[in-house]
Amino acid sequence: MCGIAGDLRWEDNPKEHKVQAMVHRLRHRGPDDSGVWQSPDKHCILGHARLSIIDLSAAGHQPMVDPVTQNAIVFNGEIYNFLELRKECIQAGERFFSDSDTEVMLVLYRKYGIHFITRLRGMFAFAIWDSTQKCLFLARDRVGKKPLYYALLRNGIVFASELDALVNHPDVSRDMDDEALELYLQLQFVPAPWSIYKAVRKLQPACYAVYNRNGLKTQQYWDVNYKPKIKITEQDALDALEAKLKEAIKLRMKADVPLGALLSGGVDSSLIVALMSGLTSESVKTYSIGFKEDVFNELPYAKTVAEQYSTDHHPDIINGDIEPLMQNLIRHYGEPFADTSAIPSFYVCRTARAGVTVAMNGDGGDELLGGYPRYWLKPQAIVLGRFFGQHGSPDKLATLVAGLPEARSLPARARRKWLLRFANPELQSMMAYAASWNDPEREALLGRKSSVLHEWRRSWFEKVEAFADNPIDRMLWIDNRAYLTGDLLVKMDIASMHCGLEARSPLLDHELIEFCASLPASLKVRRSTGKYLLKKLAERYLPKELIYRRKMGFAPPLSGWLRGSLRKLTEDVLLDRRLMSPFDQNVIQRIMNEFFEHGIDHSARIWSLLMFGLWHRYNLNALEGAS
CA 241-243-246 angle, 5° bins: 105
pLDDT at 627 over 60: no
User: What pLDDT does residue 269 have?
Assistant: 97
Confidence of residue 1 (pLDDT cuts 50, 70, 90): low
**Predicted pLDDT at 554:** 67
Q: Is the pLDDT of residue 408 over 80?
A: no
Exposed/middle/buried for 620, CB within 10 Å: 0-12, 13-18, 19+?
Answer: middle
64 confidence band (pLDDT: 50, 70, 90): very high
Question: What residues are annotated to the active site?
Answer: 2
* pLDDT level of residue 435 (50, 70, 90 thresholds): low
What pLDDT is recorded for position 59? 84
CATH code given to domain 234-369+482-547: 3.40.50.620
Q: How many CA atoms lie within 13 A of 322 on its CB side?
A: 26
> Which band of pLDDT confidence, cut at 50, 70 and 90, is reported for residue 288?
very high
pLDDT for res 176: 96
E strand segments, 32-148: 33-38, 44-50, 64-65, 72-79, 122-130, 135-140
pLDDT per position as a tens digit, 298-308: 899 999 999 99
pLDDT at 430: 84
Which pLDDT score is estimated for 392?
73
In this prediction, residue 399 carries a pLDDT of: 87
SS3 259: strand
pLDDT value, residue 389: 67
Report the pLDDT value the prediction gives residue 107, as an integer from 0 to 100: 97
pLDDT (tens digit per residue) in 120-151: 999 999 999 999 999 999 999 999 999 999 99
* Residue 626 clears pLDDT 70, i.e. is over it: no
pLDDT digits (tens, 9 = 90+) for 364-373: 999 999 999 9
Cα angle at 490 between 29 and 583, to 5 degrees?
A: 115
Question: What does 318-347 look like in DSSP terms, one character per residue?
Answer: E-S--HHHHHHHHHHH-S----TTHHHHHH
| Residue limits of CATH 3.60.20.10 in the chain | 2-220
Domain(s) of CATH 3.40.50.620: residues in the chain: 234-369+482-547
Strand-strand pairing, 215-220 and 207-212: antiparallel
> pLDDT category, 313, cuts 50, 70, 90?
very high
pTM more than 0.85: yes
Q: What CATH superfamily classification does 2-220 receive?
A: Aminohydrolase, N-terminal nucleophile (Ntn) domain (3.60.20.10)
Q: What is the pLDDT of residue 497?
A: 96
Residue 595: per-residue pLDDT = 96
Residue 217 — pLDDT band, cuts 50, 70, 90? very high
Q: What share of the chain is helix, strand, coil (3-state, %, to 5)?
A: 50, 15, 35
**pLDDT at residue 28 in the model:** 95
Lowest mean pLDDT among 165-179, 267-281, 517-531, 543-557: 543-557
The pLDDT score that the predictor gives to residue 614 is 97
Residues ≥6 apart with Cβ < 8 Å to 355: 258, 260, 285, 287, 314
pLDDT tens digits along 438-471: 888 899 999 998 879 999 999 999 999 999 999 9
Residue 54: predicted pLDDT: 77
How confident is the model at residue 424, as a pLDDT? Answer: 86
pLDDT tens per residue across span 154-209: 999 999 999 999 999 999 999 999 999 999 999 999 999 999 999 999 999 999 99
Q: What does the pLDDT read at residue 194? A: 98
pLDDT single digits (tens) 338-382: 999 999 999 999 999 999 999 999 999 999 999 999 999 888 888
Helix axes 453-464, 471-479, angle to 10 degrees: 130
pLDDT digits (tens, 9 = 90+) for 504-541: 999 999 999 999 999 999 999 998 789 999 999 999 99
Mean pLDDT of the chain: 93
pLDDT tens, residue by residue, 585-620 = 999 999 999 999 999 999 999 999 999 999 999 999
Higher pLDDT, residue 20 or 379:
20
Q: What is the pLDDT of residue 434?
A: 64
Taking phi over 0 as left and psi of -120 to 50 as alpha, with beta for the rest, 327 belongs to alpha
